[in-house]
Amino acid sequence: MSIDEDTAAKVAKLARIQVESQDLVGLAKEFNDILGFIEQLNEVDVEGIEPMTSVTPQKLIRRSDNITDGDKQTSVLKNAPLSREGFYAVPKVVE
Amino acid sequence: MANLNSLTISEARDKLKSKEISSLELTNSCLSAIDEADALGAFVHKTPELAIEQAKRADEWLKKENAPDLCGIPLGIKDLFCTKGVESQAASRILENFKPEYESTVSQNLLNNGTVMLGKLNMDEFAMGSSNETSIYGNAINPWKIDDRGLTPGGSSGGSATAVAADLCLAATGTDTGGSIRQPAAFTGIVGVKPTYGRCSRWGVIAFASSLDQAGPMTKTVRDGAIMLEAMAGNDPKDSTSANIEVPKFEAMLNGDIKGKRIGIPKEYRLDGMPSEIEKLWSDGTEMLRQAGAKIENISLPHTKYALPAYYVIAPAEASSNLARYDGVRYGRRAALSSGDGINEMYEKTRAEGFGPEVKRRVMIGTYVLSAGFYDAYYNRARRVRALIKKDFDEVFADGIDAILTPTTPSAAFGLGEMSDADPVQMYLNDVFTVTVNLAGLPGVSIPAGVDKAGLPLGLQVIGRPWEEGDMLNIAYSLEQSAGLSAKPSKWW
């Protein structure tokens, strides 16, 4: 599997990371180096092996469905880059 | 008497309890050492006022009978841990000025034991790196020096390793996703413990790869590692993967008696072209365990060679998902926008300027392996290989092996900048002996066990059975006693 510039651009878009067009060649090369390394996994016989979801056999614990926290608007907004009237503020999303 | 900052936790504990010293004296000694050590780049956010306040409180507690072992002990905390009201930015620009409104469970557990926080420690950005060179703060530098070069302390917990090795604090917290506690511990001649997955809560630890991340102690001795792990560990309802298993008294398990213990030596860890010094370190360590009465057995972990490639699918995949939260909306940095920029431009510009090159690379690799059409070929295949890697360990443990001995790293510390022209995969090879442990969720400890020709420290790794950190640490303790290393870096900073 070889990654070209178009694929690199598509991946950058999916990851929501702006990449300048002149940097796409280098990026595609790095991807290919890493993916070339990963390709070794194709040598392994994984027939009948389930993909691992958890290293410990324990089941995920469910907490009871109660409200245990809240009323922390100031605290929640404290680190926001931009907030207004108790909300996070972002550029206009809907025209 | 030597400077107080060079004490171990256990030595300081005894002196604090006998009132020979106060936590305030001990803390001030560390604070002075830190101020003289800016050249090492270890402490990136210093919190001297907080430390002094906590030391005074600890001294009050020490007047009473019930003070815990760690009461009054000054520690450094890796920048990956959220600490209330104190910068916690994972060495990333994207978390610039982020001051959490809450405290991570692990650092809170330590505070509940009366510890003192001296400040936050340098690391690779989002714990992605093996040399501390991806940090927004600049490099941390290894206190060990053999020529004009600055050497890496390893990574990602490079600042923690430097701070402990240079006696800037008595011990530090680290985190380990693929070797990030053990590799820097080996490079700086200290002890680093990566506990069983689920032993320490991940709540409030900035996430990299959630199925692999574990916090652990970085200390001057194995005994200190045992004392500190006991305080950090414990079940936490806020982390659904935290194990509801009682935390043993780890220190009490250190008796150095390893007679009859069955130690496995995995043949797959004997790499082609392995430096003879590493080869010798490993066989010397094996001999020390044999002399101490352990039974040495050759074992096979056949899928070892596939651990790194599996890791470099799974860790970036989880990272791409975890790091999606850095969008410039709720916390951290937001890029300056041009007129007409919408929400997508905000995300893309924020993440482009907020993340460094290695983080971007891994987020994008992760995005790729999870994308439609490749999910099965890469991500699911890697998770199936991971199951086989774990099965390798399950089988040797089922055969009665108590622990496994390997080198921690394939080399001693290298020079800063020396890997900058290599392709990313070369840097990843640093974790070749450590990454299997994370994939299998096992405990592992690196201890200083020798030096190379130039006099740089080298580490051996003991891998334990799940939840048997106590037994693993006792084997490490025996090895530490036999190796009898006491060299420290001489002060050049």
Q: Answer yes or no: is pLDDT of B54 > 60.
A: yes
Confidence at residue B426, expressed as pLDDT on a 0 to 100 scale: 83
Structural domain that includes position B193: 1-493
Options B6, B10, B22, B78, the catalytic residue: B78
Cα–Cα dist B118/B52, whole Å: 9
Confidence at residue B428, expressed as pLDDT on a 0 to 100 scale: 86
CA distance B302 to chain A (A): 11
| Per-residue pLDDT tens digits for A42-53 | 999 999 999 998
The CA radius of gyration of chain A, in Å to the nearest whole number, is 22
| Per-residue pLDDT tens digits for B229-245 | 999 999 999 999 999 99
CA dihedral B359, A3, B423, B194 (to 10 degrees): 50
Strand, helix or coil at B107? Answer: helix
- Neighbour tally for A65: CB within 10 Å: 5
In this prediction the pTM is: 0.97
| Per-residue pLDDT tens digits for B203-220 | 999 999 999 999 999 999
Task: Please report, for the domain that includes residue B398, its CATH number.
Answer: 3.90.1300.10
Options B180, B242, B320, B446, the catalytic residue: B180
Contact B71, B26 (CB under 8 A): no
Number of folded domains that form chain B: 1
Scanning the structure block, which residue is given the tokens 């994308």? Answer: B371
Q: Answer yes or no: is pLDDT of B1 > 60.
A: no
Position B2 confidence tier, pLDDT thresholds 50, 70, 90:
low
Arithmetic mean of pLDDT over chain B: 96
B331-390 residues touching A, CB cutoff 8 A: 331-334, 337, 341-349, 351-352, 355, 360-361, 363-365, 367-369, 371, 378, 380-388, 390
Confidence at residue A1, expressed as pLDDT on a 0 to 100 scale: 57
What angle do the packed helices B23-35 and B9-17 form, to 10 degrees? 140
Confidence at residue B424, expressed as pLDDT on a 0 to 100 scale: 79
- Cα B48 → chain centroid: 24
Q: Inter-chain contact A81–B312, Cβ cutoff 8 Å?
A: no
* Catalytic-residue membership of B19: no
B20-79 residues touching A, CB cutoff 8 A: none
**ipTM for this model:** 0.95
